[in-house]
Structure 1
Amino acid sequence: MASVTVNGGEVVYEMLGDTGDLVVLTPGGRFGMDIPGLRPLAEAIVAGGYRVLLWDRPNCGASDVQFYGQSESHMRAETLNSLLGALGEGPCILAGGSGGARDSMLTTMLYPERVTKLALWNIVGGIYGTFNLGAYYVLPSLQAVRGGGTAALPKLREWRERVAVNPRNEQRLRELDRDEFIKLSLRWLNAYVSKPGQTIAGVDDEMFDRITVPTLIIRGGAGDLDHPKRTSLEVSCLIANSTVIEPPWPEDAWERAMEDQVAGRVDHYNMFDTWVLAAPPILEFLDRP
C-alpha cells in the first residue's frame, strides 16, 4: 500500500493489475479497502483485463480522519479527484456499492472529466436508509462532542478502530475545534435528512444531468430497506445513459446476511460477501465499446 497527502491528510491506496483501463472500486459505509468481499471483486475485475484502484477514503481504514465539505460524500469526491490527479491517472471507470455508489455518483457529477463509465449497486435511499445513515455515522460523534469535547471522540468504538490502524488519528481527533466540529456535524446530518427532489442523500436531483457517461445500475433487492429497489429505479430515470439489470445475488441477500450477522453465524463482516457475483455483468458492461 502507498499513500498520498490530500488536503492535509494522508489517503492510503493500493493499485491492482498492470494493464488495462483503471477501475476505482469503492465500498460502502466507513469501511476501508480491507473489508471482506471487496478484494475478491477487485481481483475478478483485474482478471478481466483491468487495473483496479482500492482506496481508504478519509475516516475509513488506515487513512487520516478528515472533516470538511458540504457532506461526507462531497469530501470523498474531492479527495478522489485529488488522489487521481496526484497519481497522474486520466479518465477512469468508477464502480461502487452502497455508500461507494453515492460517492461514485457525486464524483462523476462534480468532476465529469474524470469518468468514462459508472457502475453502481446497493444504492442507499428512502426514509429508513437515509435516517439510518445519519443516526449511525453522525449522531454518536455529535453527541459525544457536545458532552465531552473532541477529546471524547477517540473513546468511541468507530474512532478507536481508526486510531488502532493509524495512531496519528488520535491527535487529529483531539485537535479538532469543538464548535466547528458541531457545526460540520449538523451540516453532514442535514445531508441525510430526506428531502423532496433528493433521490440520494444530500444531492439535488438536477445534479444527475451532469452524469452523461454509460452507467450500469444493479437493481436494489425487493424488501431491502437500506438499498430500496425503488431508489435504484429512480436513479436510473435520472441518469439518461443508464442500464438497469437484475441483481446477480439472491433478491433477499442483504436481509439474510444481516440475520446471519446478528445471530453470530459468521466470523467476519459478511454484508459484502456476494459482491463478487457482480463481476461478470460489470465486466460485460465495461467491455462494451
Structure 2
Amino acid sequence: MATIEVNGGFVEYELLGPTDGEVLTITPGGRFSKDYPGVRPFAEALAAAGKRVLIWDRPNTGRSDIQLYGPSESHMRAETLAGIVRALDLGPVVALGGSGGARDSIVFAVEYPELMRKLIVWSIVGGAYSSMSLANVYVMNEIRTVRRSGIDGILSHRGPAGSWADLVEGNPRNRQRLIDLGADEFEKVMWRWFEAYVPKATEAIPGVPDHKMRSISVPTLVVRGGEADLDHPKRTSLEVHALIPGSRLIDPPWPEDAWERAQEARDAGRGGIFDPWMLAVPTFLDFVDEPTGELVSSGLAKSGTEQ
C-alpha cells in the first residue's frame, strides 16, 4: 500500500498485477474502501489476467483523508483520480466503476478524456427514488446532524454506507481536518452536494448534465440494471447507454436479482454486496482486450446498438 497527496489530502492506494500490464482503475460505491468485501478479489482476478489494477480509498473512504470540495462528491473523487493517474504516469486508463463508482468514473471520463482509454460501468444510480435515497444516505442526515450538534456531531456520526466516525477512527488526521473545516463550511458543502442528487429532467444520473455524457468518446460498456433493482434502475442504464455515443449495452453477467440477493447475504453475514462482480471478470476482460479498431469497424462507435 502507498499514499499520495492530491489537492491537500493524502489518498491511500495500491497497484496490483504486473508493472507492464494495461492499467485498470476500480472504483466501488458507497463510502466503502478498497478493502470492502468483494473489491479486492475482483481486482486480484483482473490482475491475474495480466492487468495493472489500481484500487484506492477515495476521499471520505477507508484510510484516506477527508476532503470536501467540488460541485459533487463524485466530481471531487474524479479530480482525485485524475491527480493519482497523472502523478503516477498511469494513463490513459480503463476506468471501471460500480454503483457510486460508476458515477465517479463517468465524471472522470467527462472531465479528463485525455486520461481515458475505455470505460466500463454497472449498477448505475439514477431516477427519483434512487437519487433521493442516496441524498438521504450521504448528505441529509449530515445536514441534520451538523445543524443540531455542530462538527462534534459529525465526528461521532455513523451512517448506513460508511461513517465519519469510522473515518476519524481509522485516520488520526481526519479529526483535525474536520475541526479545521468547521460546521459552517461542512454544512455549505453538504448543501451543494445535496443539489446534485435532486432529480432533474436533463440529468440521467445525479450531478451530470446529459449533454456532458454525450461528450464521452471512448469505447464504453454499460451493464444493464436489474429488472427489479430500485437502487440501480434498469431505466437509468438504458438512458446512459443512449446518451454515450457508441456505447455497448449488455445484460448483466450476474443473476437478474444479484443486488437484492447480495444485500440479503450481507445482512445475514454470508457475503458482501459487491461479491457478484466476480462473475463479470471474463466479460470485462474481453471488452478491455478488444482492439479499439474492431469496435469502430463493427459499427459500435456509430450505432451503439450492440447488446
TM range (shorter): over 0.9
Match of 1:284 in 2: 286
The answer on 1:8 being equivalent to 2:8 is: yes
Corresponding residue number in structure 2 for 1:147: 148
Rounded Cα–Cα distance in structure 2 between residues aligned with 1:33 and 1:260: 20
Amino acid at match of 1:10: F
Partners of 1:191 and 1:202 within 8 A in 2: yes
User: What is the aligned counterpart of 1:243 among 245, 248, 252?
Assistant: 248
Q: Which residue of 1 aligns with 2:70?
A: 69
The residue that corresponds to 2:302 in the other structure is none
Identity %: 53
Question: How far 1:75 sits from its partner (Å)?
Answer: 0.4
Q: Does 1:193 align with 2:198?
A: yes
Report if aligned partners of 2:79, 2:108 keep a CA contact under 8 Å in 1.
yes
Aligned amino acid, residue 133 of structure 1: L
Find the aligned partners of 2:234 and 2:49 in 1 and give their Cα distance.
Answer: 28
- Answering whether residue 28 of structure 2 is matched by residue 23 of structure 1, we say no
Cα displacement string for residues 182-206 of structure 1 (whole angstroms, at most 9, x for unaligned residues): 1211110010011111000011000
**1: CA distance between counterparts of 2:39 and 2:274?**
7
2:120–2:221: 8 Å Cα contact kept in structure 1?
Answer: yes
Q: Deviations over 1:52-101 (max 9, x none)?
A: 00011000111000000000001001111111111122211100100000
TM-score normalised by length of structure 2? 0.91
**Shift, 1:48, TM fit:** 1.7
Task: Give me the whole-angstrom Cα distance separating, in 1, the residues matched to 2:174 and 2:185.
Answer: 18
Aligned pairs for 1:32-43 (under 5 A) are 32-43=33-44
Match of 1:266 among 257, 264, 269: 269
Of residues 275, 278, 286 in structure 1, which corresponds to 2:277? 275
TM-score (norm 1): 0.96
- Give the secondary-structure state (helix, strand or coil) at the position aligned to 1:278: helix
SS at match of 2:144: helix
| Contact 2:216/2:244 (8 A) holds in 1 | yes
CA distance in 1, matches of 2:260, 2:83: 36
Output the CA distance in 1 between the equivalents of 2:261 and 2:42. Answer: 20
Shift of 1:267: 5.0
Q: Count residues with an aligned counterpart.
A: 286
- 1:211 aligns to 2:229 (yes or no): no
Is 1:253–2:258 an aligned residue pair? yes
The match for 2:120 is 119
The Cα shift of 1:259 comes to: 2.9
Determine helix, strand or coil for the equivalent of 1:94: strand
Q: Does 1:165 find its partner at 2:170?
A: yes
Secondary structure at the residue paired with 1:15?
strand
Q: Check conservation: 1:23, 1:53, Cα contact below 8 A.
A: yes
- Partner Cα separation in structure 1 for residue 209 and residue 15 of structure 2: 33
Alpha-carbon distance in 2 for matches of 1:54, 1:213 = 21
Root mean square deviation of aligned Cα:
1.1
Secondary structure in 2 aligned to 1:176? helix
Give the AA of the match of 2:101. G
Aligned position for 2:80: 79
In the TM superposition, what whole-angstrom CA distance separates every residue of 1:6-48 from its partner, at most 9, and x where no partner exists?
1111011000011211000110011110011111111111122
Query: Per-residue deviation at 1:208?
Result: 1.0
Secondary structure in 1 matching 2:227: coil
Structure 1 alignment gaps of length 5 or more:
none
User: Is the Cα–Cα contact under 8 Å of residues 122 and 218 in structure 1 kept in the other structure?
Assistant: yes
Q: Give the equivalent residue in structure 2 for 1:174.
A: 179
C-alpha separation in 2, matches of 1:76 and 1:51 = 20
Aligned equivalents of 2:74, 2:94: Cα separation in 1: 18
Please give the alpha-carbon distance, in whole angstroms, between the structure 2 residues aligned to 1:90 and 1:259.
38
Whole-angstrom CA distance in 2 between matches of 1:8 and 1:163: 17
Question: Following TM superposition, by how much is the alpha carbon of 1:261 offset from its aligned partner in structure 2, in angstroms?
Answer: 3.5
CA distance in 1, matches of 2:189, 2:138: 13
SS in 2 for 1:200: coil
Q: Distance in 1 between matches of 2:250 and 2:270?
A: 31
